[in-house]
Amino acid sequence: MAASASASDRELVLQVARTAFMFADTDNSGVLEFEEATLLMQRLAGTSVGSAVDDARELFASSSAVEPTFLTYEEFVLRLATCSEDTLLFKSLLAFARDMLDSGVLAKLRTGVLSKVRSREAGSHVLDNGSEAWRESVEAAFALCDADNDGLMSKDDLIGAAAQYPLMGQLLDLPVRRFDLEEVQHYMRATFEAIDEDGSGNICRHEWISYFCACPPSVPRPVSWDPTSAECQRVTGFIFDCDGTIYQPSGMVTGAEETLSWVMQSGFQYVLLSNTGAKPKTALQSKLAAEGSPFECRPGGQPLPAGLCYTAADAQVDFMTSGHLPAASKLLVLAPDDLWEQMLRQREPRLFESWDIRRGMDVTEAKEWSQLARARLEWEQSERQDEARGDPPPKVAVVLFSDGEVASDWSYERIHAITVLLGFGAEFIYTAEDSTNPSIDERYPDTIFPMPGPGMFAQMLKRAMPPSSTGRSFCCGKGGNVGRTFMIDRAIEMLKQQGHSGERDQVMIVGDRFDTDIRAGVLAGIKSCLIESGAHSLDMADQFPVDVPSYTAPSVASIAPSVEARKTLAQIIAGPRALAGLPCAAPQPRLSP
């Protein structure tokens, strides 16, 4: 039973809910995603990444069978209105609210709001969301104070600017708007003293910006994967990324086949996941089974078993046919070929035939569909959806099946039409966040070049969606907001079909990208290992503060023990088995028919 907070405390917390939500919504999507909530917990309370993840999970906990992948502002407020006063979020927001509203600002300054919103040990102002907009606000505030443009600000400059420009408080989100002029001056004087640590009597631009836009603390680095350690030996189910992990544009990664062989020979289970948005699992299977191809993969000297592959395109088909898109929905599908159509027809032929699908659209037709999209949005947002209102308008969606390639007819007219649909409430469904894909050129044998990925186009199209488009975009691949259910949960089911327990602390995803592979592991509550042979390396960790891997390894070859280590482990295992008269060979993984 949740502890009961006093009505006044609860009111204070709800009064700062909007500020907290806007601060946490770093991508201005209008919804609070899991990783954004994790970062909010870290900054408000100065907790560790692991603790912040646990607190975020508590915030997202739901009584329904499926936990939400994001929270709207209304859902966020509802949780604050009903949560226990003992939760970290409630306590942190209450302390922040009390400091903001307390009239005795100067007396509390050293232990009050300034220490809460800015800690040099934490390395960041609580309102610093890392955006360019925040930095521009801080720089604009300095310019207002530096009237003579000498690059220095005195205490009188700051106090005078605060009195002359009410915008100062707005730019920095300082709690001065509730205070009279004397209190504002006290606050600004103490703020100046907090920044002017050397007591020079002047603050330069660098000191000012460093105070409000300090570099965040370094993200904790994961330990190296050691397959001989007791902790790593708990992992018995492996989810391997493909591009950049198992293979590169030129062929299989050295040691990948050997690692898959070791997994099978050890009696463990594995699946192969690709974020390809244009090809089904059968295409991935065929690629790895092509005899004589540089991508041919023969674990244990045998052809790759069926039933181990899955792609983001498969996950998107699952999502679209899960009931999310009802019969008679109207879809504009963007894809370089027709493979998506074959997949959908095979999965749900009757539902597919009921949809009104366009592969191209001009602006005139888009404007017609936009009225249906707006009507559907209004119907969904209505407080009453009873039978008296009749049948709902058809759902309208823009669907992207792509690896980064686009059809040759992506004209300005086509993009204009998409913009109209998304601007009026059409949903956006896409496969993956990968902004680039690797490619090679024979003229440059030692170089891997980037080429457009699906995430590049997805981000462009999402910019057409208004800020009020809460929860209307859905990414189905690894790291996506519905990828946890339709990609990772599916992979775990595939492991269970081979005989794995499905226990998440015994499952690990292995991949080369923080923003897809590692994020997928964090969101799904499984272990993760960053492979440094592909797109990302460990020195990029600070750019992905909430995508923290459990382990790191130079390449997929390092997942398996060395030959010598395998011999030692085999002797340890074989000894008691031989004495008992039991066969020493490890069991082979079981595959579902």
Question: How does pLDDT run across 257-305, given as a tens digit for each residue?
Answer: 999 999 999 999 999 999 998 899 999 999 999 999 999 999 999 999 9
Question: Does the structure show a pLDDT above 90 at 192?
Answer: no
Q: Phi, psi (5° rounding) for residue 504?
A: -70, -25
Question: Does the structure show a pLDDT above 80 at 106?
Answer: no
Between residues 498 and 107, which one has the greater pLDDT?
Answer: 498
Average of per-residue pLDDT values in the chain: 81
Q: Residue 130 corresponds to which tokens in the numbers above? A: 């890392």
Cα-Cα-Cα-Cα torsion 174, 177, 179, 184, nearest 10 degrees, comes to 50
At 121 the pLDDT is: 38
Listed in order, strand segments (DSSP E) in 419-465 are: 427-430, 436-440, 448-452
Q: Residue 154 corresponds to which tokens in the numbers above? A: 């005195």
Q: Residue 558 corresponds to which tokens in the numbers above? A: 């390092």
Which of the four pLDDT bands, split at 50, 70 and 90, describes residue 217? Answer: low
Are 533 and 555 in contact by the 8 Å Cβ rule? The answer is yes
Mean predicted confidence (pLDDT) in 336-357: 95
Mean predicted confidence (pLDDT) in 414-421: 95
Which of the four pLDDT bands, split at 50, 70 and 90, describes residue 567? Answer: low
Which of the four pLDDT bands, split at 50, 70 and 90, describes residue 591? Answer: very low
At 360 the pLDDT is: 92
Outline which parts of the chain fall under CATH 1.10.238: 1-101
Question: Does the structure show a pLDDT above 50 at 126?
Answer: no
Between residues 380 and 349, which one has the greater pLDDT?
Answer: 349
Q: Phi, psi (5° rounding) for residue 449?
A: -100, 145
Highest mean pLDDT among 67-81, 102-116, 159-173, 443-457: 443-457
CA atoms within 13 A on the CB side of 483: 31
At 114 the pLDDT is: 39
At 145 the pLDDT is: 87
CATH topology of domain 228-380+391-585: Rossmann fold (3.40.50)
Question: Does the structure show a pLDDT above 70 at 558?
Answer: yes
Question: Does the structure show a pLDDT above 50 at 107?
Answer: no
Q: Residue 519 corresponds to which tokens in the numbers above? A: 């994020």
Mean predicted confidence (pLDDT) in 204-228: 84
Question: Does the structure show a pLDDT above 80 at 407?
Answer: no
Mean predicted confidence (pLDDT) in 58-76: 69
Question: Does the structure show a pLDDT above 50 at 588?
Answer: no
Question: Does the structure show a pLDDT above 90 at 395?
Answer: yes
At 112 the pLDDT is: 36
How far apart CA 495 and CA 555 sit, in angstroms, is: 22
Q: Residue 337 corresponds to which tokens in the numbers above? A: 């070929």
Range of lowest pLDDT (18-32, 296-310, 533-547): 18-32
Q: How far is CA 170 from the centre of its chain?
A: 30
Asked whether the CA dihedral 197, 545, 463, 412 is positive or negative, the reply is positive
Question: Does the structure show a pLDDT above 70 at 89?
Answer: yes
The residue type found at 533 is: S
Which of the four pLDDT bands, split at 50, 70 and 90, describes residue 359? Answer: very high
> What's the angle, vertex CA 514, arms to CA 510 and CA 515, rounded to 5?
120
Which of the four pLDDT bands, split at 50, 70 and 90, describes residue 498? Answer: very high
Question: Does the structure show a pLDDT above 50 at 118?
Answer: no
Question: Does the structure show a pLDDT above 50 at 564?
Answer: yes
Between residues 563 and 509, which one has the greater pLDDT?
Answer: 509
Question: Does the structure show a pLDDT above 90 at 332?
Answer: yes
How far apart CA 36 and CA 470 sit, in angstroms, is: 15
Q: What share of the chain is helix, strand, coil (3-state, %, to 5)?
A: 45, 15, 40
Between residues 472 and 130, which one has the greater pLDDT?
Answer: 472
Range of lowest pLDDT (53-62, 270-279, 483-492): 53-62
Highest mean pLDDT among 159-163, 329-333, 389-393, 436-440: 329-333
At 92 the pLDDT is: 79
Q: Phi, psi (5° rounding) for residue 224?
A: -75, 140
Question: Which residue, chain included where needed, has tokens 């249906």?
Answer: 372
How far apart CA 556 and CA 533 sit, in angstroms, is: 8
Between residues 488 and 113, which one has the greater pLDDT?
Answer: 488
Between residues 578 and 55, which one has the greater pLDDT?
Answer: 55
At 175 the pLDDT is: 53
Mean predicted confidence (pLDDT) in 399-413: 83
Q: Is 84 exposed, middle or buried (0-12, 13-18, 19+ CB in 10 A)?
A: middle
At 122 the pLDDT is: 40
Which of the four pLDDT bands, split at 50, 70 and 90, describes residue 101? Answer: low
Q: Most distant CA pair in the chain: distance in Å?
A: 90
How far apart CA 394 and CA 552 sit, in angstroms, is: 47
pLDDT digits (tens, 9 = 90+) for 39-49: 777 766 665 66
At 26 the pLDDT is: 67
Outline which parts of the chain fall under CATH 3.40.50.1000: 228-380+391-585
Looking at domain 1-101, which CATH architecture does it have? Orthogonal Bundle (1.10)
Range of lowest pLDDT (68-72, 442-446, 528-532): 68-72
Using a pLDDT cut of 70, give the percent of the chain over it.
78
Using a pLDDT cut of 90, give the percent of the chain over it.
47
- HEC readout, 206-260: HHHHHHHCCCCCCCCCCEECCCCCCCHHHCCEEEEECECCCEECCEECCCHHHHH
Question: Which residue, chain included where needed, has tokens 């069991």?
Answer: 587
Mean predicted confidence (pLDDT) in 311-335: 96
Range of lowest pLDDT (183-197, 234-248, 388-402): 183-197
